[in-house]
Amino acid sequence: MDRRTFLKTAAATGGVLATARLASARAAAAPASAVPERKTKHLVLVAFAGGVRTRETFGTPQNVPTLQALADEGVLYTRARTSNLGHFGAALAIFTGVAEQRGIRENARSNDVTLFEYLRKDLGWGPNDAWIATSGGAQQVNYAYGVHPDYGAAYGANTLDGEGIFNREFKLLLEGWGRPRVWSEAEERQLAALRASLARHAGADMADAGGAQVERFLLEELTRGTSDLTGPNASDAKALRVARNLLTLFRPRVTAVVLQDADTAHGNYGGYVEVVRRNDAALGTLWQAVKQDPQLANSTAIVVVPEFGRDRDLNSRRGLDHGDGSEDLSLVTCTCWGPDFKKNSIVKEEVGVVDVTPTICDLFGAKPRHSRGKRLPGLFA
């Protein structure tokens, strides 16, 4: 089977899948009948992380034509309070709705529940409905799920970094291909589940093509073009490319992206501005892909938010750190675009980055039981 046949098959089955999923989601959410019917069926959440000030984004609109266009067609929160934590904890707060102190080098699952776990458990979503593409770094796999006893790995997101490395379980499976070996019982079970899930996505033709080939093919599709990406935002660009490929191939319900290259700002202000500009351009390519896909165009929302800003003044290396407590650091802009949101609206009321998770839960009809954020005000049309 060549790429074209595969994509045709995937496209043909996508609609059926989406309908089936929607039906099951409705059934699962039925008792909470207060949930209004929304147009949004897919969402892309971009943690524009690494420390990005509003001064270099909406304060200099020529740097971010994509963000500006999203805001013009959506809702812009100009005062989103960040969590005064290291990169890891602050970005995690976007996904959990809980701001918690964590060390910058801490590498552990959280006790807090992630957005993915709330959505997958409450709405009965399958394993391929939630993905997270990261710019890299061992810490970032911890955004996929926490260790709360009521939630956890069974409701987590699939992880994929810009180099095409799946989460550990997927990676072990993929490393095994081509080498004849004996699988453990647990591996066999996992493999069977993976194949069944892939077959559901791609239709009978794909299932017949043989498991190993199918999975190889999928990995290649998901990471196509990423090895050619270079420049100061190479890792971020790969994560955004993988997210774009994921969206058009699988059309997951939720696709999250975590960026980080902007942190070059500590020692290089010019490089940081270049990262912001290039990431905006890569986001533009992703947005175009959404608009060109008939199944995604009118049913997809995009939310973009940095984990925090940067200091007001340059440091002695003519770079920008993050620790002065200024408004440049502690307030960022949050951009929301989608079929259920207001158009061309600016909200100046103070909100929080911890409000993102409860808002997305509300959008789909899940309950963010342990989040400490609120629903973003003035968002829905």
Residue ranges that bind Zn ion, judged by CB under 5 A: 263
Comparison of 10 and 52: residue with beta carbon closer to Zn ion: 52
- Residue 310 CB, shortest distance to Zn ion, in Å, is 8
Comparison of 146 and 309: residue with beta carbon closer to Zn ion: 309
**Residue whose CB is nearest to Zn ion in the complex, by number:** 263
User: What's the half-sphere exposure (Cβ side, CA atoms, 13 Å) at 265?
Assistant: 24
Comparison of 261 and 263: residue with beta carbon closer to Zn ion: 263
Q: Is 23 exposed, middle or buried (0-12, 13-18, 19+ CB in 10 A)?
A: exposed
- Residue 211 CB, shortest distance to Zn ion, in Å, is 42
- Residue 322 CB, shortest distance to Zn ion, in Å, is 6
Comparison of 44 and 262: residue with beta carbon closer to Zn ion: 262
Q: Is 198 left (phi over 0), alpha (psi -120 to 50) or beta?
A: alpha
C-alpha–C-alpha distance, residues 339 and 191, integer Å: 37
- Tally Cβ neighbours within 10 Å of residue 175: 9
C-alpha–C-alpha distance, residues 84 and 75, integer Å: 24
DSSP code for 355: G
115-123 helix and 87-96 helix, angle to the nearest 10 degrees: 20
- Residue 307 CB, shortest distance to Zn ion, in Å, is 10
- Residue 275 CB, shortest distance to Zn ion, in Å, is 13
Comparison of 263 and 280: residue with beta carbon closer to Zn ion: 263
- Residue 73 CB, shortest distance to Zn ion, in Å, is 31
The structure tokens 């892909």 sit at 289
Comparison of 74 and 306: residue with beta carbon closer to Zn ion: 306
Phi, psi of 188, rounded to the nearest 5 degrees: -60, -40
Structural tokens at position 227: 């090895």
